[in-house]
Amino acid sequence: MGWRILRRGIIPLILILAAFTYWKLHPGAPRFVSVGHVAERNVTLWNALAQVKQPLAVLHYGDRVEIMREEGTTAEVRTASGVVGWMTNSHQMMNSELWDESAALLARARKMPVQAVGRTNTISNVHIEPGRNSQRVFQFQRGTPVVILERAAADVPQDENASPANHQNPKQQEDWDLVLRSGETLPSEGIPDSAQNSTSPESQATSDSVSGGPGYLQSNVSASGLPAAPIAGWVLARFIDLDLPGPIRDYAGASDLHVQAYFVLNRVPNGSGGEAPQYLVAATRGGGGQPCDFTVLRVYTWSATQNRYETAYTESNICGSMPIHVSQSPSGPEFRFAEAGNSGGERTYVMRQTMVRRLRSKDERRDKHR
């Protein structure tokens, strides 16, 4: 009698263990876990994780996928068309929260005035915020054309293996640029014209990048031949080389200036039947991580009689904050920017012919005469 009762208890237990073992070995259809978005230009979807595997599809930046399960750094996903396969690196995806933050940053960047034009000089991680410890949203290849919109300073991560004495030193900071890779039309106030004094295809592509011209679209395409997706984010400033027009490059090099922003104020007859652009330059001296976005202003004008550029205006010891806004008024080109630091005021300048002067508010004029 007791054996029968014991057998009745053991048999169900054996069946349960057998079913559990079978489920572990044959998990069946994967279940939905979360939503992600592809964070690389191209990602191959594979049918398995084994050494011998076959590609099922190629996903592109921004494609939405359903994450079915994750195993270590790999993930099984389902595409919008229903294809289920494996991504060999789950870091090739952004979660929904990070994707929304990236979209919001892109929307803000599209409305910002361009400060300079450049290209990445190495493979460059694109971050959601300035700083190496912030989340990565993309990776630019070397030579990617970008426009610079904003500048910030962020702490350099300290080496955890460094001696305690080094940790007591003030934190070092480095420059970061908010950049945009895009083939669409951007705000065109004071467009930096880096094609001047250069006829190379690279310079033409960079000039078109600011105005949405065809050169930029042709130089910024994906492997599929389609225009690359617009992407905004923060990149280490030293990973970007500005495409400086010849006059700015020469004058900045001779004056030991680190150019942060540059603009075409207007164009004047060059004495040879053409036109010469006149430039505004905002720069710093010294290393990165400074509290001011720029500390030096210079305006370079064209002298038709001397057939050369001349420094028409210079101002140092300022603490300016980007962005700089350039516009045209009946009196001539105007530019304005906010002062960094506690003052937080705004400075406005106007150029008449080759003369530049600052326009002061009533309160500033009153304080000046006290």
Q: Per-residue pLDDT tens for 100-128?
A: 999 999 999 999 999 999 999 999 999 99
Domains plus CATH for the chain?
Answer: 2-94 (2.30.30.40), 110-158+167-236 (no CATH), 244-370 (no CATH)
Task: Give the integer Cα–Cα distance in Å for 273 and 280.
Answer: 23
E strand or H helix that includes residue 219: helix 214-219
335 neighbors 328 (Cβ within 8 angstroms):
no
Q: Which residues contact 53 (CB under 8 A, 6 or more apart)?
A: 46, 47, 86
pLDDT of residue 207: 36
Confidence of residue 200 (pLDDT cuts 50, 70, 90): very low
For 61, the token pair is: 């930046």
pLDDT at 17 over 60: yes
pLDDT of residue 294: 96
Question: What mean pLDDT do residues 342-359 have?
Answer: 88
pLDDT at 195 over 90: no
In 3D space, the residue among 68, 29, 28, 65 whose CA is nearest the CA of residue 44 turns out to be 65
HSE, side-chain direction, 13 A CA sphere, residue 274: 7
For 192, the token pair is: 């930096």
pLDDT of residue 282: 97
The one-character DSSP state at 157 is: P
- In degrees rounded to 5, what are phi and psi of residue 21? -60, -40
pLDDT of residue 12: 61
Secondary structure E strands in 207-254: 231-236, 240-242
pLDDT at 29 over 90: no
pLDDT of residue 213: 30
Number of helices (H), then strands (E), in the chain: 7, 22
For 334, the token pair is: 């105007």
pLDDT of residue 197: 36
pLDDT at 206 over 60: no
Confidence of residue 28 (pLDDT cuts 50, 70, 90): low
pLDDT at 20 over 70: no
pLDDT at 163 over 80: no
59 neighbors 79 (Cβ within 8 angstroms):
yes
Per DSSP, the three-state class of 123 is: coil
The one-character DSSP state at 222 is: -
Confidence of residue 154 (pLDDT cuts 50, 70, 90): very high
Average pLDDT of the chain, as a whole number: 80
Alpha carbon separation from 179 to 145, 218, 242, 322 (Å, rounded) = 10, 19, 12, 13
122 neighbors 239 (Cβ within 8 angstroms):
yes
280 neighbors 191 (Cβ within 8 angstroms):
no
The 10s digit of each residue's pLDDT in 54-98 is: 988 999 988 999 988 888 888 899 998 899 989 888 778 888 899
155-164 long-range contacts, Cβ below 8 Å, gap at least 24? Answer: 155/131, 156/132, 156/289, 157/132, 157/133
Confidence of residue 203 (pLDDT cuts 50, 70, 90): very low
User: Which of residues 256 and 20 earns the better pLDDT score?
Assistant: 256
E strand or H helix that includes residue 208: helix 201-211
In 3D space, the residue among 94, 107, 201 whose CA is nearest the CA of residue 149 turns out to be 107
pLDDT of residue 8: 60
Task: Give the integer Cα–Cα distance in Å for 104 and 94.
Answer: 14
278 neighbors 265 (Cβ within 8 angstroms):
yes
Question: What mean pLDDT do residues 329-343 have?
Answer: 87
- In degrees rounded to 5, what are phi and psi of residue 49? -105, 0
Alpha carbon separation from 262 to 156, 178, 229, 278 (Å, rounded) = 27, 15, 26, 10
HSE, side-chain direction, 13 A CA sphere, residue 49: 13
212 neighbors 186 (Cβ within 8 angstroms):
yes
pLDDT of residue 332: 92
Confidence of residue 169 (pLDDT cuts 50, 70, 90): low
CB count, 10 Å around CB of 255? 14
For 115, the token pair is: 């400060």
39 neighbors 46 (Cβ within 8 angstroms):
no
The residues with which 336 forms a beta bridge, in sequence order, are 325, 348
Question: What mean pLDDT do residues 20-42 have?
Answer: 68
Overall pTM surpassing 0.85 (yes/no):
no
